[in-house]
Structure 1
């Protein structure tokens, strides 16, 4: 599939237009891919299966597609999702045109757009070292505009405390649903996992999008450079050639930890680089939904 580039998306006027273009571009590619059976238009249906009554078949849809679909009941379609977006200072980093914060906002907005067009309810928690914004889950187009408007305002600031925030959000989110965390996960790994498991104990499904800048992954710096911690403001000057191997091994170890730990508890862990089109993240999200539907 060919996806819209992050550079072309970033040039668009506002987050609503960006989300719309990402989703529309993704859907066009989707119909040319192995996902050709998926469509927002048919999101309130499911494939006919053994045991289903013939009277529930949507014959108009059969005439369009030559396939049998059953109209879903309301309780089958109304997914409630909460998107947790990290807006700590470390999300400000970029080595290219799109910061981790901007990438995360476009991803969160695109997921919200896709969910609401799919007649599902979406809410949001924006956080750094505490919850900064909380929006209840609703499924209307008016709510989508409000949600994206708040996402547009998000700016990276302050330190992070992902683990504590996850516990706070879990306590506030009672109805079983889908939890989507978008973060660079720059906090204690074991504590983050404890926070994620809190959602599982309350019956939620969980997806984690681990967003990193390509330089944070490959450490491809060429010359002696001063590194500044965006959250603590601590600095260190070094020649990257001397620490590149150790750094890459550490990042690989972190990703391996999350892959193994999330896999153990059936949490979907999706590592992302901000150089990758947001459409790739939507594809991974769709894989998740098809897997559990």
Structure 2
């Protein structure tokens, strides 16, 4: 992956839509167009254009031959809703090398939104912060994407996760199968994240969980620190220079293994993402499951 697409470089782009386009265009470079455009799409038939149809579905070759407007019906019937859910609780303020989890999450969500909009699918956005949930309903229009990026720009981490989240807060509009993308650090007090993910899966949605972590966080690199603070509870732990790296690493591995095992048992895809790593792995995982749900 080019250094131009490193998280530090991408997050330096203040225009969120421009940053998303940079990530996606860089990811798509070198990939065959037919592999990306209309993934899992099987053409069925044409039908006459209706005023409510998206202009992107028009077949201009058919128009050139017949002087009439037609749309490819299969594209309309197989379009899906994508729901991006961001954990914006206090723990997402954790920062390494100038990159915070919440900023990585915002830019990853913007990139996913840009990619799904290219595919002609409707994208929704939900954020959990300060014990509350805000949701921007799924739409396909360009104006909706402007609101999508605006909501991400205004998103700030704070507070704790709600003890009992109302699942209907995430899926406004007609009930249909969705691709749910949850971006979180999996720090919870009473299985709040796990309960949400389990509920999404029980509703029949395809679910991807992206686990944001930092390299210091994974390897107990706390040299130079006298104490660490739990960003959600405010609890301070004095280090006194006595962090057992081996014991810490074992505890970290047990923590992530338990998460992965639980999600696998519920058919939820799990991917750990380092704050220092480019976002291409997340985009690849997303497209894999995007293709699966469109079959």
**TM-score (normalised: structure 2):** 0.82
Q: Which residue of 2 aligns with 1:89?
A: 90
Q: Which residue of 2 aligns with 1:108?
A: 109
**Counterpart Cα distance in 1 of 2:140 and 2:273:** 27
**Counterpart Cα distance in 1 of 2:144 and 2:171:** 23
**Counterpart Cα distance in 2 of 1:74 and 1:282:** 22
Q: Which residue of 2 aligns with 1:38?
A: 35
Please report how far the alpha carbon of residue 30 of structure 1 lies from its aligned counterpart in structure 2 after TM superposition.
3.2
Q: For residues 189 and 232 of structure 1, do their structure 2 counterparts lie closer, same or farther at Cα, with a shift above 3 Å needed?
A: closer
Q: For residues 215 and 76 of structure 1, do their structure 2 counterparts lie closer, same or farther at Cα, with a shift above 3 Å needed?
A: farther
CA RMSD, Structure 1 to Structure 2 (Å): 3.0
**Counterpart Cα distance in 1 of 2:210 and 2:147:** 23
**Counterpart Cα distance in 2 of 1:127 and 1:178:** 18
Q: Which residue of 2 aligns with 1:65?
A: none
**Contact 2:132 2:161 survives alignment (8 Å):** no
Q: Which residue of 1 aligns with 2:140?
A: 139
**Contact 1:210 1:271 survives alignment (8 Å):** yes
Residues 158-194 of structure 1: per-residue CA shift (max 9 Å, x gap)? 1223x63373545757322111111111114755333
**TM-score (normalised: structure 1):** 0.82
1:226 aligns with 2:227: yes
User: More helix by proportion, 1 or 2?
Assistant: 1
**Contact 1:229 1:235 survives alignment (8 Å):** yes
Q: Which residue of 2 aligns with 1:150?
A: 151
Alignment of 1:1-293 (within 5 A): 1-2=1-2, 4-31=5-32, 37-39=34-36, 42-43=37-38, 46=41, 73-161=74-162, 164-165=164-165, 167=167, 169=169, 172=172, 174-188=175-189, 190-239=191-240, 241-292=242-293, 293=295
Please report how far the alpha carbon of residue 131 of structure 1 lies from its aligned counterpart in structure 2 after TM superposition.
3.1
For structure 1, list consecutive stretches of 5 or more residues without a partner in the other structure. Answer: 61-70
Q: How many residues of Structure 1 are paired with residues of Structure 2 in the alignment?
A: 273
Please report how far the alpha carbon of residue 127 of structure 1 lies from its aligned counterpart in structure 2 after TM superposition.
0.8
**Contact 1:86 1:183 survives alignment (8 Å):** yes
